[in-house]
Each structure stands twice: as structure tokens, then as C-alpha cells.
């Protein structure tokens, strides 16, 4: 049985004449990695800001853990909203001690009540979780951008939150850094935590998220499990000497239709029941030999461009 961690109902935010968010409604279930996807200006960061109490909504409502919008809910949430901001001349350990004191101050409780472990042990634990333990005494200024992002995620884990909110966690990273953050997110999710990721990077959302909402100019234009957006669309590429004859033949095959044509090949939309061997046999029996036949998967980027077209 699924448990709703977050429910948003007709959430809106206006800045004078600009509607940054327009009646957004969604549900996030426990244990999911939920992507909020959209280009810059689509309302992603605005949504996270409202959910954390940093911004005030113009309309609508939201509820964390079936407990409304109460401030106490934030004790169960870890968040990374901006570029990592630590003291450059301090080590990871010393920076995290400062973060811990701020969190305790905001929570209104002392350290012994907040953590089951000694604070130093807790810091070691989160640094190991983000693979920074060996560099825990190094100054922040000596860290790569990827390491800085990992330290920021470590700071969100300090209070052992049930939910993580991450705003563009791979922004500006090189391919290795992106891969490291992606794996870190997947590892954190294995503990049963719910993770919300706001991003404009389609490839990363597709690789880590279980669910996604696509925003455009503050409006939700599609919400679904990732597999429902990208998993059910199958395509094949075929090539041969007579594209016109191949196109005519393809459109007569049950479960197949020609999607598009290039100078050298056809792209076919195919049903689940259609296999490459069936396609090959069909054309061979109709005296057309294929020089190329392969299946391709329609990416989230393809779907995103189609959905946001116009």
C-alpha cells in the first residue's frame, strides 16, 4: 500500500503580471524519485521554494506527510536549493558542524535530542555515504565542483530526513561528476527515502527518476511514471534500395506505421507484438531485402519536445 508523502492542490505563484506557477496539482508517494522537469522559467524552483516555506504561494495548498503546511514538517526534509555555499577555508567536517548547529537552532532542540549518534559520528556517517570521508579534513576550496555538490547533499542528510529536495543537483558538472551524483541519488533512495529533483536535464531525469511532472510556463502539461512516457513507444529504423516501396509495404503491416523518412532510411512506429525478425521476414517474403534493421527507444527528450511543442 502506497503512502502519500506530499500532496499539492492548485498551487499558484504570481509576480505582478507574471504567473510563475499556475494551479499545479500532484501527489508524491513514499519511496519514489520524483522529477520536476522543465526549461528555465517553468516554475521548478518556485515550486520547491513554496514547499520549503521560502516563498509564499499566491493560491492553492500543499500538505507534507498528511500534516498540512506546518513548519514542523521541515524537520523531516533535507533540501539543496542553490549552489553549495560553504566556508572555503574550512574542512568538510567543520563546515558540517556549522550546518548542524544551524539546523539545531532552527529545530529548537539540542544535538543530543536530534541525533541518535554523537554529532562527530553522524558527520563521519554522512561523509562516508557521499564518498568524501577520505577528504573530510581537506579545505572546501580544494574540492572539485562534483565534490562540493556531494558535500551539499551530505549536509541535507545530517538530520536523517525522510525526504530530499534537490534543485539541479548535476548542474555544471562534467560527465564524471554527473555520473557520481546520479549514483549517489540512487544509493540514497535505496534506504527508502523519497527524493524530489528539479531539473532541466532530460537525460538525468530519465536515468534516475521513477515519476515525473513536466512543467511549461508554470503549468503541468504531463504527469506520469517515467516508463509510461518513454517505455511504451517503440520504433525501428529500416534501410534498403527502394524506400518508397518499403514505406508502402510497411504501412500494410498490422501494428506498423511509418513515422518519418530520411534520405537513406525509414523510422517506423511499431506495436509491442512486432519483432525485428517478423519485420525482416515480412519484407523478405515481399522481395525487399533490408540493408539495416534495428530497434530504437524514444527518449524522454523526444517526448518532452513533442509534449512542449507550440
pLDDT of residue 230: 62
Q: Which part of the chain has CATH 3.30.70.980?
A: 231-307
Judged by DSSP in three states, 304 sits in helix
pLDDT of residue 111: 47
Query: What predicted TM-score, i.e. pTM, was given to this entire model?
Result: 0.76
Q: Are 223 and 27 in contact (CB under 8 A)?
A: no
Q: Are 140 and 151 in contact (CB under 8 A)?
A: yes
Spatial distance between the Cα atoms of 44 and 39, rounded to a whole number of angstroms:
9
Cα 110 from chain centroid? Answer: 34
CB atoms within 10 A of CB 275: 12
pLDDT of residue 109: 47
pLDDT of residue 269: 86
**CA angle (179 as vertex; 223, 205 as ends), nearest 5:** 5
pLDDT of residue 51: 95
Spatial distance between the Cα atoms of 43 and 58, rounded to a whole number of angstroms:
13
CATH number of the structural domain 231-307: 3.30.70.980
Q: Which part of the chain has CATH 3.40.50.300?
A: 4-227
CATH number of the structural domain 4-227: 3.40.50.300
- The list of the chain residues with pLDDT below 70 reads 1-2, 105-117, 229-233, 297-310
pLDDT of residue 138: 97
Amino acid at each position: 500500500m502506497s503512502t502519500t508523502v506530499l500532496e499539492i492542490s492548485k498551487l499558484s505563484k504570481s509576480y505582478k503580471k507574471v504567473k510563475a506557477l499556475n494551479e499545479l496539482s500532484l501527489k508524491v508517494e513514499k519511496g519514489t524519485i520524483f522529477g520536476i522537469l522543465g526549461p528555465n522559467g517553468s516554475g521548478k524552483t518556485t515550486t520547491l521554494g513554496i514547499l520549503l516555506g521560502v516563498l509564499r504561494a499566491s493560491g492553492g495548498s500543499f500538505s507534507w506527510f498528511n500534516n498540512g503546511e506546518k513548519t514542523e514538517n521541515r524537520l523531516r526534509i533535507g533540501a539543496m536549493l542553490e549552489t553549495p555555499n560553504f566556508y572555503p577555508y574550512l574542512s568538510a567536517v567543520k563546515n558540517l558542524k556549522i550546518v548542524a548547529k544551524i539546523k539545531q537552532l532552527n529545530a529548537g532542540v539540542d544535538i543530543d535530542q536530534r541525533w541518535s549518534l554523537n554529532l562527530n559520528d553522524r558527520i563521519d556517517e554522512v561523509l562516508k555515504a557521499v564518498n568524501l570521508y577520505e577528504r573530510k579534513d581537506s579545505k572546501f576550496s580544494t574540492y572539485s565542483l562534483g565534490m562540493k555538490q556531494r558535500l551539499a547533499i551530505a549536509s541535507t542528510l545530517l538530520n536523517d530526513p525522510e525526504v530530499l529536495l534537490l534543485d539541479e543537483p548535476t548542474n555544471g558538472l562534467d560527465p564524471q561528476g554527473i555520473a557520481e551524483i546520479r549514483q549517489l541519488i540512487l544509493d540514497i533512495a535505496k534506504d527508502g527515502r523519497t527524493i524530489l529533483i528539479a531539473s532541466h536535464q532530460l537525460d538525468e531525469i530519465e536515468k534516475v527518476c521513477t515519476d515525473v511532472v513536466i512543467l511549461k510556463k508554470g503549468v503541468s502539461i504531463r504527469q506520469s511514471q517515467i516508463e509510461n512516457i518513454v517505455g511504451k513507444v517503440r520504433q525501428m529504423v529500416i534501410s534498403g534500395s527502394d524506400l518508397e516501396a518499403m514505406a508502402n509495404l510497411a504501412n500494410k503491416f498490422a501494428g506498423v506505421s511509418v513515422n518519418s523518412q530520411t534520405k537513406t532510411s525509414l523510422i517506423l512506429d511499431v506495436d509491442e507484438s512486432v519483432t525485428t525478425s517478423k519485420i525482416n521476414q515480412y519484407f523478405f517474403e515481399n522481395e525487399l531485402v533490408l540493408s539495416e534493421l534495428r530497434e530504437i527507444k524514444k527518449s524522454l527528450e523526444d517526448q518532452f519536445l513533442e509534449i512542449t511543442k507550440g
